[in-house]
Every structure is written in C-alpha cells, then in structure tokens.
C-alpha cells in the first residue's frame, strides 16, 4: 500500500484509489472554499487528493433530452458557450459567483460537496431534480441532489467517493436565476431563486437558495402557478397579476430563513418572494 500526502491523479479511478489508500485524505477541487478554511486555521488536511488534473471531470454532454455536466466544470465554463445556451439559468447563477478569479477556479462538484445554503448552482439544480453521480471503491451510484445535500454543509457523499457529474433533464421553455446581495460582484447570496418553466409539460419549477439549510422547492407555489397560467394563449404562456401575487405569497410561505450576520429572516423572506415573482415574470407574459 502506498500512502503519500499529495495525490495528483489524472483519472477519477486514480482519485478514488488515492482516497482509499490514504485514510483521512481530503479532496481538493477549485480550492475556493478549501483554501479559505486552511488559511483561517479551520482545516489541517493530513493528506490531499487534488482533482484539477482529472480532465474527464471537465467533460459535458448535451443531448436533446438531458445534460451531463462534469463535476470539474468551473463557473467560467458554465457561464458561456454551449453549456450556457443549454442551461441559461445555470449560466446566470454561475456568473453571479464571486469574481473572475473565483469563477476560474471554483467547480460545480465543489459547490455540491461544500453544500453551502448559499451555493449558487444549487437552486437551479434542485429545480431540475438533478441527480449526482458518485464514484467510490465499490463503483458508481446515482443519487438525487436532494439526497446528496442533507443539511448546512452536510452531504451524504462518502469519504472515499468523488463527485463525477451532474445529470439534468432538459426542459423546453424559459428559465431564470436571480440573487440578492450587497453588491453585483463578489457576493454571497442573501436570497436566491431559480424558476424553470416547462412549456411542454406545462409545469413551473421553483427552487430557493439561502432561505433554508438546503435548497428548497416551493411546491405549493409551483402547483398554484401551473394551474393559473394560460398555457395556450396566443404568443405564449400568460398569467394574471393576482395569480402572480398569490404565487409570491406561497413562495414566501415556503421559505424557512434564519437571521445571521448576512441578513435577517424577515428580509430574506421578503427578498425571495420578490425575486421569485420577478424571475417568473421574466419567463411568462402578463395577461391583460
């Protein structure tokens, strides 16, 4: 058995092997969370498995029915090009993360594994019922995102598992991501919302960030608005002001925010209500 403090694998299998061989080894992806903890004395890794050289983690696949996005995909990668065209709300979320320096380093897999309530990609992934591929010594398993992110910075990912990719079904129709913070750059979300309108299934999917320990689906708001929208209106789906107002109320009722150093529970509940409504208004036309 070979134990070394730093493994620089080039394949997922090598990464899993390195994790297995060095108990206590910690996975390092983009480092944007990991290194802050090291710098502030909160993390002292006995051994590290660095994933930056694993090129297969940066692959993506776009088909008519689904998207597979490698866990090593950076926010910069998500923010433009083919991935952004296929998932515009994920691109919008990615572009709100930190700064160019952070977006060049931070990864989708890292956002999931860190499992911060403010993780910017998580609401959209939750709205799309994303599943996560994990690979460990025993092989691969596919787990719903809602079963991966189990609490504030808590996941069900095992110590010897690597996040390989994220799979979402494509939804035909508009989608939006909005976020509230203290400035336009370099900001951790005070509240965020992702809205996906599926014009074929006649469904609206709404997920909220930073207003609960985990990304939250506003299922009552989803059901209400799907029934209220006139899906067959000429020129696309339409919705009335009163239906939008009720939608916003149901979103606020779904939120379960706390007061902390970044904001108050009251402000978060109000903010998420406003941005979820605004996101929906950008997806559907207003009925006269």
Partner 1 sequence: MPPEGEVPVDTAGETGAPAESPAYVQADRYELEVNGTRETVEDAWLGETLLFVLRERLGLPGSKNACEQGECGSCSVLLDGVVVCACLVLAVDAIGSHIQTVEGLTASADVTDIQSALVASGGVQCGFCTPGFVVAVHELLRRSPDADEMEVREALSGNLCRCTGYGRILEAVRDVQRSRAQSSTGQTLSGRPFGEQSFGAQSFGGSGDVA
Nearest Cα to Cα of residue 208 among 137, 118, 145, 148: 118
Residue 172 binding partner 1, by CB under 8 A? no
Give the residue, chosen from 1, 2, 139, 200, that forms a contact with partner 1 under the rule CB under 8 A: 2
Binding-residue pattern over the window 35 to 74 for partner 1, x denoting contact by CB under 8 A: xx-xxxx-xxxxxx-x-xx-x--xxxxxxx--------xx
The CB-of-66 to partner 1 minimum distance in angstroms stands at 9
**Which CB sits closer to partner 1, 75 or 247?**
75
Residue 75 binding partner 1, by CB under 8 A? no
Binding-residue pattern over the window 94 to 133 for partner 1, x denoting contact by CB under 8 A: ----xxxxx-xx----------------------------
As a residue count, the chain comes to 288
Q: Which stretch binds partner 1 (CB under 8 A): 1-9, 138-146, 230-238, 253-261?
A: 1-9
**Which CB sits closer to partner 1, 185 or 253?**
185
Q: Which stretch binds partner 1 (CB under 8 A): 29-37, 115-123, 128-136, 204-212?
A: 29-37
Whether the Cβ atoms of residue 76 and residue 103 lie closer than 8 Å to each other: yes
Strand partners, 107: 74
DSSP category for residue 237: -
Whether the Cβ atoms of residue 112 and residue 132 lie closer than 8 Å to each other: yes
Strand partners, 230: 238
- Judged by DSSP in three states, 44 sits in coil
Nearest Cα to Cα of residue 193 among 174, 210, 181: 210
DSSP category for residue 66: E
Residues 179-208 interacting with partner 1 (rule: CB under 8 A)? 184-186
């Amino acid at each position: 058995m070979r134990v070394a403090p730093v493994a620089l694998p080039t394949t997922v299998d090598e990464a899993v092997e390195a994790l297995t061989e060095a108990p206590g080894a910690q996975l390092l992806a983009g480092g944007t969370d990991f290194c802050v903890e090291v710098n502030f004395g909160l993390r002292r890794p006995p051994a590290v498995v660095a994933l930056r050289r694993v090129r297969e983690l940066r692959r993506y696949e776009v088909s008519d029915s689904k998207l597979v996005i490698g866990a090593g995909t950076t926010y910069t990668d998500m923010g433009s090009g083919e991935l952004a065209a296929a998932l515009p709300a994920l691109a919008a979320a990615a572009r709100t993360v930190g700064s160019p320096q952070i977006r060049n380093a931070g990864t989708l897999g890292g956002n999931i594994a860190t499992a911060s309530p403010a993780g910017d990609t998580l609401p959209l992934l939750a709205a799309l019922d994303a599943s996560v591929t994990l690979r460990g010594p025993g092989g691969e398993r596919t787990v719903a995102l809602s079963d991966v992110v189990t609490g504030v910075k808590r996941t069900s990912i095992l110590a010897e598992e690597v996040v390989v990719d994220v799979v979402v079904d494509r939804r035909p129709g508009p989608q939006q991501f909005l976020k509230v913070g203290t400035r336009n750059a370099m900001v951790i979300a005070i509240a965020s919302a992702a809205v996906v309108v599926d014009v074929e299934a006649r469904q609206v999917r709404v997920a909220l960030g930073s207003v609960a320990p985990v990304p939250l689906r506003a299922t009552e708001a989803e059901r209400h608005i799907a029934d209220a929208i006139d899906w067959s209106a000429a020129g696309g789906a339409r919705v009335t002001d009163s239906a939008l107002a009720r939608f916003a109320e149901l979103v606020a009722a779904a939120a379960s925010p706390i007061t902390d150093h970044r904001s108050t529970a009251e402000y978060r509940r109000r903010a998420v209500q406003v941005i979820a409504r605004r996101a929906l208004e950008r997806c559907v036309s207003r009925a006269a």
